Each structure stands twice: as structure tokens, then as C-alpha cells.
Amino acid sequence: MKVQNRSPHKSITHKLILFTGMLLVTGVSTSGTPGAIGMKAGYQTPNAEVPAGQTPVIAYRLMPLIAANPRQLQVTMHFSVPAGETHAALQMPAWSPGDYHLQYHARYVRNFHARDSANTQHELDVTQPDPNTWDINTGSAHDVTVTYTLQETPPGFFSENVQLRSSQIFLNGTAVYMYLVGHKEMPVTLQIDLPNRWLSETPLPMQKAVGGAAYTAPDYDTLADSPVVIAAQGAVTTREFTLGKTAFRAVYFGQQDKIRDVDAYTPVLKKIAQAEIGIFGTMPTERYDFLFDVDGRGGGLEHLNCCRIALPSGAVPERYAPFIAHEFFHLWNVKRIRPQVLGPFDYIEPPRTRNLWFAEGVTEYYAHIATRRAGLTSASAFLTHWRRAIAAMQQNLARFKVTADQSSLKVWESGDSQGFGGLSYYDKGELIGLCLDLKIRAVTDNRRSLDDVMRLLWQRTAPPKPGYGEDDIRAAVNKIAGADLSAFYDSLARSSDELPYSECLAYAGLDDNLRLLPTISAGQQTLYTLWSTASAAAPKR
């Protein structure tokens, strides 16, 4: 995720549809239905996939009540009571992936009811053992229907949660859907009751056999990480393009009619996507959606197969490119290359990791690398960015007190989803990325770069594999460098030492002010060219 202007120039049917056999029509892992491109499974392991046609499904249904005052969203959830159990616990997430502060979405739940699906007159006893949890005494009921309502809820730092407007709705999954405790890995279906002449947009694959706005997801994590835009026809503008086998969709909502030239964004989105796909070689998904909330609140928030970005209507696409590139790079870094605690998720206990500087700061580093490679940033603007980023860090005395890994680990204590003790893991992580990349290029005589570290980590951790351990980034750096850079890495990420700007910039033939040194070697020239040139090919492996 990311906040706008952080740095200088960034500026559910009441009919039971949960029974076995449901997956015959859903095709959970690859639906392949037109307009609903198949999506690879989320974070679950292959063994978690159960044979089609025999799987119970948890079915969600959303009913927007736009004419109500205040406007409401009714959520219905159907599930089978697990064999041998007489209680079922449901929880609402306390936090949303990507937004590292506690939001306690349960506090906005109203009118919670649980009923025996076979006899909806039969209301089941419910207790709340803690504010996030509803414990249902299911007794002899085999299938349960839960209903609750939500009104508009406050946004998080980086995204709207439940936004209910007269002509459009935005829903962030963690703020909407409860999960069946102990069964988050079960496949789910989603049906949306659209108001007349409204439509829905979400990266989830459609269930063609059901018709209407009916979707499927392989598990709760994927459902919760797939935001939904529901809008009156004419209140959204969409553009599409294809790169390789991936269908991209740009969905403009909010004040979308205020954008002067929506089509000016498409080439920029393509160039960003091509530059970043170029780093990894392939896309991890067959569909990706950019959800642009025009003149919306918050910043950007990455999701499994999409991102939601608050886009100022007057933004110049090229100048906004690093912001978009940051969110798109999360498709790999943090959504797939991730600390072990960041997928599958514990939605109640805050996930603590020392590596948010890598997840966020190195993503920010690549936002600038990718936009430069894409030719969306000039050489001088590229160098100016680094000069300013270094100058800003050198004015921050918190750098002497807090390390990048502490800034990451303690973010939950600060409550700002930026860092801890005045040190942003975005800011320091971006500069650690710079130093690491230049160092690896130098010690390998330009044969390797941080790109190779990213590829290695993707290869080692992409779902369904577990995420990386706390020391695995360092191990990957050493492997790619072909040398023991542990002390260097620890100095960058785990100490409050000054970052070695002079040493690292000199590898690229640059002084501390990002000006070329009077005399540079052929090696420095090559490094500078490979690092900073538009369309520079990544070093051959």
C-alpha cells in the first residue's frame, strides 16, 4: 500500500446453494468463463483443493439497500455445520492485509442473526465471546443462514472499506465478509443482488452457470482480497488490454467523469506492466484489475489480483506512474513474495515481521526503477528522485535510533502503517533497495542485480509455497551475489548505521549528489547504464 503525496513528487440466495455438487459449475481454480478469466488459487496448498463436485461451499450474498436511510448492505452467509460439531464460530477481521493497523471491522456489524436453514423461523442462540467473534449454538441444524447489515464504514489509511453512495458502492472484503473459524480454506461463492441497471466489477471469476453477478473464489483469503465495485451503469468507465495471456482491466469509478482523458492512462499502464513483467518473466495471474477511485480517499492498496488506487482526476498519468507502479509491483512483492505471516492470514492477531521495509520500501524502489525502464521517467528525474530521497533521510534523526527491521516489527505499536519511532520503512527500505542493488551489481561485475534476488525469492516462495522466513532475504542476497554480504545486509537493515551512499553510488560512477564522477571506469559506466537506462535489459542469468 501507499499513501498519496508521501514523497516529493507523488505527489451472498436464500436458496441453499452450498451443497455438494456446487463446484461442478464453479470450477474454482480456473473458471475460464467469458468475461471471467480464470484465476489461480490464493495462498492455499494444493492438498487443500478438493475434488470438484464433492465440496461444500460457503455461500455469500450481498444485497445493497440503496433506498434505505441510511443506506445499508445486507450480507447473507450460508454454510454447512462441520460434521460432529454443535457450535460454529464466525469472525470479522481486525485488520486488512496491506494496511498494518487495527481497524476491528466487527464493530460495524449490525442486526446479526443466525438461523437453521431448514427452518428459517428457528433462530439459533448466539453469543459474542469477544468483540470479533460470534459463537453460534447450531444444535441439530445441518445448515446455517447468517445475516447481518453494514452501513458505510470509515476508510483505512489506504483504502475505503464499505462505501455506500447513491450511484456506486466500493467494498473492501475484510470489512464485509465474516469467515467460518477453522475453515478459511473452504471454497466460497459470492452472489450480488444488483439494483436495477447496476453492474459489478471484481477480479473474481464469474459463475457462468448461475448467471448475473455470481462469482467464485478458492478460499476466504481470496474472497476477502478481491474488492468489489458496484455501480449504476454510466457511473464507471472501463478500459481493457491484453499482455501475453493476461487480461488487464482498468476500472474508473468515483468521480470518473472528471478525468479529462481516460485513454491517456492505458499506454502508461501497459508500459508499467511490461517493465515489471520484464523483471519476473511472467505474470502470476491471467487477469489483473486496476481499480481507480477517482478523487477518492486514501492512497493505494494492493490486493491478490488487483489494486485500488485513489486517483486525482487532474493527475498527469506519467507523473502518477510511480504510484501505480508501486501498487502493481505488489502483485509479486508482498502478495506472493511475502513474509510467512502475510498469507495465509491470521485476521485477528497482528502479523509481526521484520521485513516490511522489503515488502514496502523495496517495492517503492522498484516503482522508480520500473518507471525509468518503461521510459516514463527521464534520466534526470530518476537521479533527482534519489538525490531527494537521500537528502530527506539524512534530515531524519530517527535514523540513528530506529532500524529498518524495528520500524517494520513495531508498526502495530505506532498505529500509522508507515513505520515506528519516526522512521518510515518506506523511506529507509527504498534506500536499502538502492544500496543492495548497486552492491550486488558491483560485486558480480554487472552479471547479477536485485532483480535476480526478486526472481529467486519468487521461485522459492510463490504460493502455494509458504512465504519467506525472517532471514531468507539475506540468504537470497548472498546466493545471488555469490559472496557473503551478511554484514553489509545487517548494516543496512538491522542497524542504525548510516547507509553507505557514497560507496554504493560510486559503483555507478556517481557522487553523493548523483552527478557523474569526473573519471569513471568501464565497469562503473556499464553499471550506471544497466541500472539507470530506459529499457535497460536485466543482466542475463
What are the residues binding Zn ion (CB under 5 A)? 1-2, 360
Nearer to Zn ion, 64 or 97 (CB): 97
Which whole-number Å values give the CA distances from 328 to 101, 302, 305, 466, 483, in the listed order?
22, 7, 9, 21, 31
CB of 345 to Zn ion, least distance (A): 16
Residue 302 Cβ, how far from Zn ion at the closest point, in Å? 6
Nearer to Zn ion, 253 or 328 (CB): 328
- Report the distance separating Cα 533 and Cα 541, nearest Å: 19
Q: How far is the CB of 336 from Zn ion (least distance, A)?
A: 14
The nearest distance, CB 360 to Zn ion, in angstroms, is 5
Name the maximum alpha-carbon separation found in the chain: 84
Least Cβ distance, residue 330 to Zn ion (angstroms):
6
| Neighbouring-strand partners of residue 424 | 419
Grid coordinates 470509515 are at which residue? Answer: 154
Cβ-based nearer residue to Zn ion, 116 or 430: 430
The DSSP-derived string for 265-296 is: HHHHHHHHHHHHHHHHSS-S-SEEEEEEEET-
Residue ranges with strand state E in 275-360: 287-294, 300-302, 306-311
Nearer to Zn ion, 2 or 10 (CB): 2
Closest to Zn ion by CB, 201 or 360: 360
Shortest Å distance, C-beta 364 to Zn ion: 7
Query: Which of 337, 363, 379 has its CA nearest to residue 536?
Result: 379
Helix, strand, coil fractions of the chain, as percent rounded to 5:
30, 25, 45
| Residue nearer to Zn ion on the CB measure, 360 or 430 | 360
In the complex, what is the shortest distance from the CB of residue 304 to Zn ion, in angstroms, rounded to a whole number? Answer: 14
**Dihedral sign of CA atoms 84, 89, 95, 97 in order:** positive
**Rounded to an integer, what distance in angstroms lies between the CA atom of residue 319 and that of residue 51?**
48
Nearer to Zn ion, 426 or 531 (CB): 426
439-457 in b/e burial notation, b at 16+ Cβ within 10 A? bbbbbbebebbbbbbbbbb
Nearer to Zn ion, 219 or 360 (CB): 360
Minimum CB distance to Zn ion, residue 333 (Å): 9
Nine-digit cell string for 358:
522489503
